[in-house]
Amino acid sequence: MAIKTKRPPMKETVGAQYICFAKETEEGEFDGTYETDVEKTEVVKTVKVTVNADTGDSYASGKVYDSDTPTKSIDIETEVIAFPEDTLAKMKGDSVDAGGLILSGSNSQRPFFAYGKVVKLRHGGYRYEWYPKCKLTENSDDISTSEDKTSEQTDTIKIKAYPFDDAGNIVAKITESSAPEGMTEDKFFTKPILTKEDLAAALT
């Protein structure tokens, strides 16, 4: 048996983020269909992704017979230098009237949306990711006074991603080594990708 040494590329920076709101059923359920528009913003400072998994042990004859650690959800925390107010209002389920007044803080239902992000790797590598079924869980809106020395003011957007299919998948992604020939960032993020058929359609 041979030993194969791998040298994976190091992460270099975070790229753009993408949001596309889902179309919900009359019962407010997620069915994997989306609105036409995908919103791209290049405002990300950092992204922290935390996988939430529960380990379940099965015992027999006084010892662990089997163990399973299914992923229940993924928490995504993004630090941004700015964020569109209308997009945030929609993520929160706020009411926006025809005159532009935003009413926030009610018990309105927060909609599902797809969240996409780009991870740029050293030597031209990349990772494109779609989290097709997400909801906003928390956001900050901090501001401080201006001073003689310019200071950067950022906010935090917290998102929870859920399984989007019967198999329990939460993220759909490609890397430069797995991507089909001709795939670009613009093509991958034209609309949320949930299946291999979606990936193939993105090339056309």
State pLDDT tens for residues 74-132.
999 999 999 998 899 899 888 877 777 777 777 778 899 999 999 999 888 899 999 99
Q: How much is the pLDDT for 140? A: 61
In three-state secondary structure terms, 133 is strand
pLDDT reading at 193 higher than 60 = yes
For residues 134 and 67, which has the higher predicted lDDT (pLDDT)?
Answer: 134
Q: How much is the pLDDT for 103? A: 79
Question: pLDDT confidence of 153, banded at 50, 70, 90?
Answer: confident
Q: How much is the pLDDT for 40? A: 97
What is the CA angle 174-47-39, rounded to 5? 70
Residue in 33, 36, 32, 38 with CA at minimum distance from that of residue 20: 38
State pLDDT tens for residues 13-56.
889 999 999 998 878 789 999 999 999 999 999 999 999 877 66
In three-state secondary structure terms, 191 is coil
Q: How much is the pLDDT for 59? A: 59
Residue 124 is classified by DSSP as: G
Q: Domain 11-202, what fold? A: Pnp Oxidase; Chain A (2.30.110)
Q: How much is the pLDDT for 195? A: 96
Q: How much is the pLDDT for 77? A: 94
pLDDT reading at 173 higher than 90 = yes
For residues 58 and 35, which has the higher predicted lDDT (pLDDT)?
Answer: 35
Instruction: Please tell me the distance from the alpha carbon of residue 92 to that of residue 145, in angstroms, as a whole number.
Output: 27
Spell out the domain ranges in the chain: 11-202
pLDDT reading at 57 higher than 80 = no
Q: How much is the pLDDT for 37? A: 96
User: What are the structure tokens assigned to 9, written together?
Assistant: 């590329």
User: What are the structure tokens assigned to 161, written together?
Assistant: 């991603």
For residues 169 and 97, which has the higher predicted lDDT (pLDDT)?
Answer: 169
